[in-house]
């Protein structure tokens, strides 16, 4: 395996691990910790997800460059496309809504609960599944 595909495999599984650890473990558990208020949890969550999304964009850019540079089987490229598209939708369409909602909550407004969280989690599920598929397919080439 040459350097490009090896890097893609490594980034795929690190990216997957980060999504699983942060989105499906840290995010829901932080609100169960003693003395963590909604405002504190939202503040922590914003920092953590901003960092996660920044790293995800970096990983996505490197993987897209490897796919573009390479010969890569179409099924692997499609799996990566699905993961990158899910990330793009999260960042462009869903995260701004979540930010507006958390801004209101941090300013003291209760308001109705946001359904945008469900959309974000749904795209995380799609992204994680696509990364699992991409990772497994890369290991079988």
Question: What integer pLDDT is reported at residue 56 of this predicted model?
Answer: 98
Helix (H, G, I), strand (E, B) or coil at 141: coil
Helices and strands, number each (H, E), in the chain: 6, 0
Task: Label residues 59-84 b or e (16+ Cβ within 10 Å = b).
Answer: bbeebeebbeeeebeeebbebbebbb
Question: What integer pLDDT is reported at residue 104 of this predicted model?
Answer: 87
Per-residue pLDDT of the chain (141 residues; tens, 9 = 90+): 688 889 999 999 999 999 999 999 998 898 888 998 888 888 899 999 999 999 999 999 999 999 999 889 999 999 999 999 999 999 999 999 999 888 888 888 876 777 899 999 999 999 999 999 999 999 998
Question: What integer pLDDT is reported at residue 125 of this predicted model?
Answer: 98
Question: What integer pLDDT is reported at residue 2 of this predicted model?
Answer: 83
Residue 33 phi/psi, 5-degree rounding, is: -70, 145
- Sign of the dihedral through C-alpha 39, 118, 18, 100: negative
Contact call for residues 89 and 123 (beta carbons, < 8 A): yes
Question: What integer pLDDT is reported at residue 102 of this predicted model?
Answer: 87
C-alpha closest to that of 8 among 52, 90, 73: 73
Q: Give the residue extent of every domain in the chain.
A: 3-140
Q: Using CA atoms in the order 83, 81, 56, 99, what is the torsion angle rounded to 10 degrees?
A: -70
């Amino acid at each position: 395996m040459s350097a490009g595909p090896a890097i893609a495999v490594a980034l795929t599984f690190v990216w997957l691990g980060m999504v699983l650890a942060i989105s499906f473990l840290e995010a829901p558990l932080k609100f169960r910790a003693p003395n963590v208020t909604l405002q504190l949890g939202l503040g922590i969550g914003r920092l953590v997800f901003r960092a996660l999304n920044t790293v995800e964009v970096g990983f996505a850019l490197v993987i897209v460059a490897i796919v573009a540079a390479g010969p890569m089987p179409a099924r692997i490229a499609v799996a990566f496309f699905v993961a990158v598209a899910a990330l793009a939708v999260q960042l462009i369409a869903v995260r701004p809504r979540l930010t507006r909602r958390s801004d209101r909550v941090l300013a003291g407004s209760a308001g109705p609960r946001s359904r945008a969280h469900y959309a974000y989690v749904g795209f995380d599920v799609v992204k994680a599944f696509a990364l699992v598929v991409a990772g497994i397919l890369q290991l079988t080439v």
